[in-house]
Amino acid sequence: MVIKVFLASSSGSTAIKKKQQDVLGFLEALKIEYAQLDIASNEENRMWMRENVPGDKKPSGGIPLPPQIFNEDNYCGDYETFFDAKEDNSVYEFLGLNPPPGFKKMPYAEEEEQEGDVEEEYEQGEEDLMSEEEEEAQVSEEGEEAED
């Protein structure tokens, strides 16, 4: 299975260029095979992309902008859905691929739970620190009273 990324090599929009670079860079980092299909220099690619993006996924203008991502002929999504999948650590599911051996996807609830644990540990550490400072102040005060 090959991931197809439809992009525009000569886009005048820096936002589109950044989105395209983000997608390609992330796929390279994960060592996922992909093919770049240029819609700016190849009319067939442009027509294929436009015809194969589902109607409900097309913008209000009707013409989908790059990057658009497919797994062979199956539509995966645009940059926004890719970004959401990246944030949710679910890029493999988004692309319709099996994750590599050893890949661990932490369920969202566990992520929140662990973040909560870190916050609790931090708060507990602050309380412990304050208790130590209070004890030191109290010992210091007792020492001063004994000297009087």
pLDDT at 142: 55
CATH of 3-95, one of 1.20.1440.230, 3.40.30.10, 3.40.630.30, 3.30.530.20: 3.40.30.10
| Residues found in the chain | 148
Chunk the chain into consecutive blocks of 10 residues (it has 148) and report each block's average pLDDT, rounded to whole numbers. Answer: 94 94 97 97 96 89 92 97 96 96 68 53 52 56 54
Starting from the edge strand earliest in sequence, which strands make up the sheet with 34-38, in order?
Answer: 34-38, 3-7, 68-71, 74-78
Report CA-CA distances (Å) from 148 to 108, 134, 139.
60, 21, 15
CA distance 71 to 2: 6
> What pLDDT, on the 0 to 100 scale, is given for residue 131?
56
**How high is the pLDDT of residue 19?**
97
The CA distance from 68 to 37, in Å, is 10
